[in-house]
Structure 1
Amino acid sequence: MSTRPHIVLPWTVRRTRLPLLALRCVDCRSGLASTGDGKFRVNANGKLLDVWLLVACVSCDRTSKITVHDRVPVRYVDPILLEGYFGNSSALVARVLLDPLIARRNRFALEWDSCWELLAPSPPESPWPVQVSVIFDDPVPLRPERLIAQGLGISRGEIARRVKIDIPLNRRTHRDFSFVLL
């Protein structure tokens, strides 16, 4: 590497909207669902509480439920969370959707296509090399190769020649990383 100091450019990956859910509809067999308005359903049976997030099929608009809490004693649920469930808090909807444990338990994945944006200043014409620091505001899984191509407007072949990076270019990541553009 060069001994010259690098110019450090900050790039930020930000979620623009909630992702769709890859979840099979029982009526039309479509594979995508949306949270729509982000509504919770809370049901109390005695001192036990059930909480679901309602999602709708994007094709037929059939409503399905994502289990958030199942038969949990009311005293174990944080009162602030409970108030958020009753108030259909949009921040709580995002928190539930992005929780990997809830996704695994309910067997859905998130479809991040067209749900994110890259905030990146244009690279300077000179001097080279330039170090770019990529920061993820939300856990958007992206291939670094795609992100770099979009941010710099260069081809994958040129990325292989001009980019020095410590992580695999073709494996998805949602963790912060940095690279050097030669």
Structure 2
Amino acid sequence: MSSQPHIVLSWVVRRTRLPLLSLRCAVCRAESATAAKGRFRVNANGKLLDVWLLVRCVSCDRTIKLTVRERAPVSSFDPADLHGHHLNDPDLVAATLLDPWFARRCRFTLDWTDAWTLDAPTVPLDGWPVQVDVTFDDPVPVRPDRLIARRFGLTRAEVLGRVKSDIPLKRPTSTGFTFTVLADD
């Protein structure tokens, strides 16, 4: 990075709501659904349980069931998770929805548009270079070059010329990274 004295800032990317699901509705064929209310449905059949995460089509308001567990013995459930399914625990809904294995199995992707925010302090304009540590509370995929350009008011071309980073800037990431913005020469 830089051997000059520099300002060190911390940025945090936070989820503001659950993301939309890109999932085709069987009724209206729309490509978007939401799990905004975050409800599970638990159905018992003897000693076996089925658990679904209920999502709603944004276009026709129809309920879609995404299978979380199917025909699983009651004894195979973690008691805290089973209790969370019954109570529609918002943290368990978020953890289930953000699980990449669950998304692959249910064949949906997450649309993070307008579902996250960047908590970042004000950047002093006279103290260059600026080093920034970015952390993520949730796995929100963002392109570092767009994030940096928006926050510093730079073009993406300027970002590529003035920023030194430990990761590729043009590839989306959802894990923490560090970068340094150098003074304009």
User: What is the TM-score of this pair, normalised by structure 1?
Assistant: 0.96
Following the alignment from structure 2 to structure 1, what is the Cα–Cα distance between the partners of residues 123 and 6? 12
Q: Given residue 148 of structure 1, which amino acid in structure 2 is its aligned partner?
A: I
The residue that corresponds to 2:3 in the other structure is 3
Shift of 1:115: 0.3
Q: Note closer, same or farther for the CA distance 1:155–1:44 as it changes in structure 2 (3 Å cut).
A: same
Indicate whether 1:95 and 2:95 are aligned.
yes
The residue that corresponds to 1:75 in the other structure is 75
Following the alignment from structure 2 to structure 1, what is the Cα–Cα distance between the partners of residues 144 and 2? 23
The residue that corresponds to 1:16 in the other structure is 16
Shift of 1:23: 0.3
Following the alignment from structure 1 to structure 2, what is the Cα–Cα distance between the partners of residues 138 and 169? 19
Following the alignment from structure 2 to structure 1, what is the Cα–Cα distance between the partners of residues 51 and 146? 38
Taking only aligned residues, the RMSD between alpha carbons, in angstroms, comes to 1.1
1:49-90 per-position Cα deviation (integer Å, ceiling 9, x unaligned): 110000010000111111111111100101111111111111
Q: Given residue 19 of structure 2, which amino acid in structure 1 is its aligned partner?
A: P
Secondary structure of the residue aligned to 2:161 is helix
Q: Given residue 168 of structure 1, which amino acid in structure 2 is its aligned partner?
A: P
Q: Given residue 166 of structure 2, which amino acid in structure 1 is its aligned partner?
A: D
Q: Given residue 142 of structure 1, which amino acid in structure 2 is its aligned partner?
A: V
Secondary structure of the residue aligned to 1:71 is strand
The sequence identity of aligned pairs, in percent, is 60
The residue that corresponds to 2:167 in the other structure is 167
Shift of 1:38: 1.1
Q: Given residue 56 of structure 1, which amino acid in structure 2 is its aligned partner?
A: R
Secondary structure of the residue aligned to 1:54 is strand
Following the alignment from structure 2 to structure 1, what is the Cα–Cα distance between the partners of residues 137 and 2? 31
The residue that corresponds to 1:53 in the other structure is 53
User: What is the TM-score of this pair, normalised by structure 2?
Assistant: 0.95
Q: Given residue 3 of structure 1, which amino acid in structure 2 is its aligned partner?
A: S
Structure 1: where are the runs of 5+ without partners? none
Secondary structure of the residue aligned to 1:83 is helix
Q: Given residue 167 of structure 2, which amino acid in structure 1 is its aligned partner?
A: I
Shift of 1:26: 0.7
In the comparison of the two structures, how many residue pairs are matched?
A: 182
